[in-house]
């Protein structure tokens, strides 16, 4: 196998990993893994929550174009209900890392837990603001999941998914009660579980 210029010059391949969507009442939990290319720097990488939607969209396109490798993966509402949100998050992260076209030398994961993978890995608390690779992963994961919510909003406009992105806002809880539980909801999550119990 021929080495890329990146590898032959001795750079260590660092993958940053982050997730989005642990808190919402419906939809996938989404994770992304990114290996940046030092030859193609991207300016403005940080925690996706600190960026405007427009800026996130711009950066997501830049990351996909300029990164050495990137991957997005998810765990479904059914998987979340079966194994719980923490384990589903770790599963999505593992899938994202394993989906990279190049195996990294080391993986940095946002938060205080690491997925079970057979490579060098460390957890970095608040890593999305400290590690460029994790910041990049947080941006493409957030943009991907927001697009999922926008698509769902087109299918079910009465739920307001484009506005609250599935998070348990007062508006969302009211609309959920009004219109009922869709298949995309996480049935193990408190507000959904309680509503289903009431209906039974």
Show the domains of the chain with their CATH numbers.
5-199 (3.30.420.10)
Confidence of residue 199 (pLDDT cuts 50, 70, 90): confident
Strand bridging mode 29-35 / 69-75:
antiparallel
CA distance to 55, 140, 165, per residue, from 153 (Å):
22, 20, 9
* 8 A C-beta contact, residue 36 and residue 42: yes
Residue with tokens 């990294």: 104
C-alpha span between 154 and 20 (Å, rounded): 21
pLDDT exceeds cutoff 80 at 5: no
Query: In this model, does residue 44 exceed pLDDT 80?
Result: yes
Give the pair of three-digit tokens for residue 176. Answer: 């959920």
Q: What percent of the chain has pLDDT over 70?
A: 94
Tokens standing for 148? 């999922």
Distance between CA atoms of 193 and 195, rounded to whole angstroms? Answer: 6
pLDDT at 47: 85
* pLDDT of 200 higher than 80: no
**pLDDT (tens digit per residue) in 141-183:** 999 999 999 999 999 999 999 999 999 999 999 999 999 999 9
- Decide: 139 and 59 in contact? Cβ < 8 Å: yes
How many Cα atoms sit within 13 Å of 16 on the Cβ side? 30
pTM above threshold 0.85: yes
Arithmetic mean of pLDDT over the chain: 94
Please check whether residue 139 is in contact with residue 56, taking contact to mean a CB–CB distance below 8 angstroms.
yes
């Amino acid at each position: 196998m021929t080495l890329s210029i990146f590898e032959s010059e001795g750079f260590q391949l660092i993958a940053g990993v982050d997730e989005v969507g642990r808190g919402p009442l419906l939809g996938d939990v989404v994770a992304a893994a990114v290996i940046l290319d030092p030859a193609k720097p991207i300016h403005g990488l940080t925690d996706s929550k600190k960026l405007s939607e427009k800026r996130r969209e711009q950066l997501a396109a830049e990351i996909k174009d300029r990164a050495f490798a990137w991957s997005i993966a998810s765990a479904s509402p059914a998987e979340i209900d079966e194994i719980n949100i923490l384990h589903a998050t770790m599963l999505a992260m593992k899938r994202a890392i394993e989906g990279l076209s190049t195996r990294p030398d080391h993986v940095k994961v946002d938060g205080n837990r690491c997925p079970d993978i057979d490579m060098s890995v460390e957890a970095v608390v608040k890593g999305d603001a400290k590690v460029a690779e994790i910041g990049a992963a947080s941006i493409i994961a957030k943009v991907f999941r927001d697009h999922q919510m926008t698509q769902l909003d087109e299918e079910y406009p009465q739920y307001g998914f484009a506005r609250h992105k599935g998070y348990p806002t007062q508006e969302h809880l009211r609309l959920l009660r009004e219109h009922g539980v869709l298949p995309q909801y996480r049935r193990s999550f408190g507000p959904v579980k309680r509503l289903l119990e009431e209906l039974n």
